[in-house]
Amino acid sequence: MKKWAKSLTILAVLFLIFGIFIQSVYADKEELEKIKQAIKEKGAKWDADETSVSELPDDQFKMMLGAIFPTEPSKGAKTRTMGVTTPTSLDWRSNGGNYVTSVKNQGSCGSCWAFGTIASAESLDMIAHNNPVIRVKGKAVDPIDLSEQDLVSCCSHTDAEYPGWNKCDSCLGCDPYWAYEYLKTTGVPGESCFPYADSNTAETPTSIPCITTCPVLVHIVDWSVLTQGVDSLEGAVLTHPIPVGFNVYSDFGYYRSGVYQHVSGVLRGGHMVCLIGWNNNPPPEGKGKNSFTPPPYFICKNSWGSWGESGFFRIAQSETGPDTLVNFGARAADFSLEGLAPPKLAKPAAVVTLWGSIKSSY
């Protein structure tokens, strides 16, 4: 009897799990159909489908985010409004070369704030040294690869050193201001010295200790907060890709391609990405009766692997600003090229003579 009772209990548990799974699948399908219908009704220009992110449970979806935005204005950070004239379009992946490093995957750690910041710092360094991505035997090779784990493990604060700044607590999320200040006060090493571990989980937020022996590769002198206007963001990106934040709603997880506009769903949390370009007058896309003209958009590099448009996404400029639900441009920052300090290497860079000119081996 005991064996039969045990078997029945196991079967009951399996049926319960199977039932929950089926219910979850149907719920996801139902939400996807609602999003597709909302896109159609609102005339949005993007495609929704099942993705690696949309299939995640709510708690795991939230761990793909991690940017903490303030509820009140912050103090101690300089604000800057860019007022320069910009071209109709710009994409740092093809601006006299590719100055955007390969897309990465933050995994189950709420470290988007680190990835958005590091992606911007990598592009900044490449532009400053005129050192774009190259291709070797058809494969892209990044000239620099900085450590996100350094920010995750070393840039953790819970004090009130700067009034109005929120906490920075590893995989549990961070106010991006801390990451910017860390680039200024400390700088970051290379990925090879401090590789990304994706193991600072919510249960053990400090499981990867900070490594202080890695040589710093990029170190900025200063940074400033950008106002959230479209012109201001474009003016900053004209110089180099920048980190930007925004609110993620559940429909964003279903983004497959096109120009994202929020159409439905609940708020999941704050997210940080790298803004690499824009197009204010995009040409028509599609063919025949499926042809359409996208709205003006920004181009962003994400940190969710191949999700979206091969790791990138486009977002309508109409989602910009604190008066919108998406709040695109939150915590955006400018790292001026003039403020880029010389790289701190473990040993002085060797100098070689090449056809009578002097070049650094860096």
State what percent of residues in the chain have pLDDT above 70.
78
Q: How far is CA 45 from CA 187, 209, 234, 292, 297, in A?
A: 40, 44, 22, 8, 11
- Catalytic residue list contains 129: no
Least confident of 207-211, 335-339, 346-350: 346-350
> pLDDT tens across 277-294, in order?
999 999 988 887 778 899
* Residue 45, pLDDT score: 95
Which one from 98, 247, 302, 327 is the annotated catalytic residue?
302
How far, in Å, CA of 210 to CA of 202, rounded? 17
Q: What is the mean pLDDT of residues 118-140?
A: 93
Q: Is residue 357 part of a domain?
A: no
Phi-psi region of 265 (alpha: psi -120 to 50; beta: other; left: phi over 0): left
- Catalytic residue list contains 302: yes
My answer on whether 17 and 104 are in the same domain is: no
* Residue 102, pLDDT score: 97
Q: Is residue 314 part of a domain?
A: yes
My answer on whether 8 and 55 are in the same domain is: no
Q: Is residue 351 part of a domain?
A: no
* Residue 155, pLDDT score: 85
346 or 284: which carries more pLDDT confidence? 284
Task: Give the structural domain span for 71.
Answer: 46-346
Least confident of 118-132, 152-166, 246-260: 152-166
My answer on whether 139 and 281 are in the same domain is: yes
Confidence bin at 161 (pLDDT 50/70/90): low
> pLDDT tens across 171-214, in order?
889 999 999 999 998 999 999 999 998 754 444 444 688 888 99
> Are the beta carbons of 204 and 333 closer than 8 angstroms?
no
> pLDDT tens across 217-258, in order?
998 888 999 989 999 999 999 999 999 999 999 999 999 999
My answer on whether 131 and 148 are in the same domain is: yes
How far, in Å, CA of 264 to CA of 274, rounded? 24
> Are the beta carbons of 142 and 122 closer than 8 angstroms?
yes
My answer on whether 89 and 183 are in the same domain is: yes
Q: Which residues pair with 258 in a beta bridge?
A: 46
Q: Is 60 exceeded by the pLDDT of residue 340?
A: no
Q: What is the mean pLDDT of residues 137-143?
A: 90
Which one from 154, 271, 279, 327 is the annotated catalytic residue?
271
How far, in Å, CA of 272 to CA of 188, rounded? 18
My answer on whether 68 and 214 are in the same domain is: yes
How far, in Å, CA of 58 to CA of 250, rounded? 9
- Catalytic residue list contains 219: no
Q: How far is CA 270 from CA 162, 163, 356, in A?
A: 20, 20, 52
Q: Is residue 119 part of a domain?
A: yes
How far, in Å, CA of 203 to CA of 226, rounded? 35
Q: Is 50 exceeded by the pLDDT of residue 16?
A: no
Amino acid at position 90, single letter: L
* Residue 26, pLDDT score: 41
My answer on whether 290 and 146 are in the same domain is: yes
pTM beyond 0.75: yes
Least confident of 4-13, 23-32, 187-196: 4-13
Which one from 98, 109, 112, 166 is the annotated catalytic residue?
112
Domain count, the chain: 2
Q: Is 60 exceeded by the pLDDT of residue 349?
A: no
Q: Is residue 142 part of a domain?
A: yes
My answer on whether 9 and 140 are in the same domain is: no
> Which residues, at least 6 apart from 240, have a Cβ–Cβ distance to it below 8 Å?
92, 99, 120, 123, 124, 127, 335, 337
For the chain, the straight-line distance linking the first and the last C-alpha, in angstroms and rounded, comes to 75
My answer on whether 31 and 160 are in the same domain is: no
Task: State the CATH number of the domain containing residue 327.
Answer: 3.90.70.10
* Residue 336, pLDDT score: 72
My answer on whether 91 and 163 are in the same domain is: yes
201 or 317: which carries more pLDDT confidence? 317
